[in-house]
Amino acid sequence: MIRAESLCVGYEKRAVVRDADLQIAPGEVVALIGPNGSGKTTLMRALARTLLPLSGTLSLDGRPYNEYPPTEFARRVGYAPQETPVEMGFRVEELVMMGRYPHQRGFWGATAQDDAVVESALEFVGLSHLRHRLISQLSGGERQRVNLARALAQQAQYLLLDEPNAHLDLHHQVQLLSRLREQVAKIGVGVLVSLHDLNLASEYADRVMLMVNGQLVQTGTPNEVLQPDILEEVYHTPTLVRQNPLTGKPLVFPLRAEIIPQLPAEAPFAFVVGGGGSGTELFYPLMEAGWRVGTGVLNLMDTDEEVARTLGLEPIIEQPFSPIGEASFAKACEQACSAHAVVVADVPFGNGNLRNLELVLHACRAGTPVVLLELRPFSERDYTGGRATELWHQIRALGAQVARSYPELLEILSRLARQTCPY
């Protein structure tokens, strides 16, 4: 295990990384993320023993770093720095062979085993065909892969990889990280990898450490760390976080702050009844059309709930998989009844959300204009044995308008806005 406690690292006595506590265990991939200049490289350098810490302790498998002679340390910890090696006069395979030095004795030179390890490291990074090329004649991405091959050739128990993806195209990024994961599973290396791409960190890391202004402010699973409020605070950018449907890992979409329309308090207010993603298709277009939007009742963690929060709405929510309770029903009724319009998305109704139709009926009776979006016949989305259809008919009988498409819905709403809220 690599362990750092109260680690402070910096340059000329100026601390850049402060009070870092961390562990990297064999068999895990830990991603180090954080904005530019937050201190990731500086921390890596200290862990790789190329930069002496200002204070704090560093240990490797229970022994302090300084008890390890350099060659023994290099046999255990491989480091692929971000910068290109300065040894420009070398050829690719010579540079990768340098990773074997800690394993070689005296001046006996490379053994057949060293050759085989270099070969497989070059294969790993897909550079076998460039083995005789001078480093100076490589592209940025190729040089980076040489760096990685050199670290791999060390056959160390721990790998510290600083932005190994920086110059790689999408194919090579994914290939590199998935191969690394295979190594982790096969021989139990422990990997610390700094990554800019939060989605790659999410997909490939067991744990994520978030560094901000020289401090590790969050450590946890991708799900724990890659949360919209945490990311917005750190990167000053709103994000939408969804689940990768294939892997269940969080997927982060950065948004422009300006993308979220800022609406004045006197703008008309639409209450949207949606759920399961049906509301998502309405929130943004309605806001763009100048409506303030409220929504409910949604279950916590419903897709619509997450999107509503990202857009700065305050959805009325109920616990996951729970029926709509009195408190949330009353709150939603209040909002719907005082809205300039209630919009019912093209959502299926079952016993769990039937009360949302009851609240629409309530609003209708209170005189709130209701617009029903009907992209497919209501009978196809009634899972209540007819009770929802009955409510639907009552709502229609009270004068609710039906829109058969999104443009028609927006048209009806703009008419309503002119009539009810001529601001």
- What does the block give as tokens for 342? 């209630």
DSSP string, 359-388: HHHHHHHTT--EEEE-SS-GGGGB-STTHH
Which of 39/294 has CB closer to ligand ADP? 39
As a dihedral over the C-alpha atoms of residue 57, residue 63, residue 67, residue 72, rounded to 10 degrees, the angle is -120
The least CB distance from residue 255 to ligand ADP, in Å, is 23
Contact 17, 8 (CB under 8 A): yes
Interface with ligand ADP, residue 407, by CB under 6 A: no
The least CB distance from residue 73 to ligand ADP, in Å, is 21
Distance of CA 354 to the CA centre of its chain: 34
The least CB distance from residue 140 to ligand ADP, in Å, is 17
Among 5, 6, 11, 338, binds ligand ADP (CB under 6 A): 11
The least CB distance from residue 50 to ligand ADP, in Å, is 11
Which positions ≥6 away from 40 have C-beta within 8 Å? 32, 33, 34, 162, 194, 211
Positions 30 through 89 that interact with ligand ADP (CB under 6 A)? 34, 36-42
Which of 235/406 has CB closer to ligand ADP? 235
The least CB distance from residue 227 to ligand ADP, in Å, is 21
Q: Is 250 exposed, middle or buried (0-12, 13-18, 19+ CB in 10 A)?
A: buried
Closest CA to 24 of 54, 58, 67: 58
Which of 78/81 has CB closer to ligand ADP? 81
Which of 212/255 has CB closer to ligand ADP? 212
Interface with ligand ADP, residue 165, by CB under 6 A: no
Three-class secondary structure of residue 250 per DSSP: strand
Which of 47/417 has CB closer to ligand ADP? 47
What's the rounded Cα separation, in Å, for the pair 284 and 308?
A: 9
Which of 123/233 has CB closer to ligand ADP? 233
Which of 53/268 has CB closer to ligand ADP? 53
What sign for the dihedral angle of Cα 112, 115, 121, 125?
negative
Interface with ligand ADP, residue 262, by CB under 6 A: no
The least CB distance from residue 41 to ligand ADP, in Å, is 3
What's the rounded Cα separation, in Å, for the pair 386 and 382?
A: 7
As a dihedral over the C-alpha atoms of residue 227, residue 228, residue 232, residue 235, rounded to 10 degrees, the angle is 50
Interface with ligand ADP, residue 274, by CB under 6 A: no
Interface with ligand ADP, residue 27, by CB under 6 A: no
Interface with ligand ADP, residue 207, by CB under 6 A: no
The least CB distance from residue 17 to ligand ADP, in Å, is 7
The least CB distance from residue 80 to ligand ADP, in Å, is 14
Q: Using alpha carbons, list the distances in angstroms from residue 342 to 226, 299, 374, 416.
A: 34, 19, 14, 11
Which of 134/212 has CB closer to ligand ADP? 212
Which of 38/335 has CB closer to ligand ADP? 38
* Residue 357 phi, psi dihedral angles, 5° rounding: -75, -35
Instruction: Cis check for the bond before 297: say yes or no (omega within 30 of 0).
Output: yes
Which of 9/226 has CB closer to ligand ADP? 9
Among 7, 16, 298, 342, binds ligand ADP (CB under 6 A): 16
**Other Cβ atoms closer than 10 A to 196:** 14
What's the rounded Cα separation, in Å, for the pair 94 and 4?
A: 33
The least CB distance from residue 380 to ligand ADP, in Å, is 53
The least CB distance from residue 13 to ligand ADP, in Å, is 11
Interface with ligand ADP, residue 295, by CB under 6 A: no
**Other Cβ atoms closer than 10 A to 203:** 20
Interface with ligand ADP, residue 190, by CB under 6 A: no
- Compute the 3-state secondary structure of the chain and give helix, strand, coil in percent, each to the nearest 5: 40, 25, 35
What's the rounded Cα separation, in Å, for the pair 245 and 356?
A: 28
Contact string (CB under 6 A) for ligand ADP, positions 342-371, x = contact = ------------------------------
Which residues form the interface with ligand ADP (CB under 6 A)? 11, 16, 34, 36-42
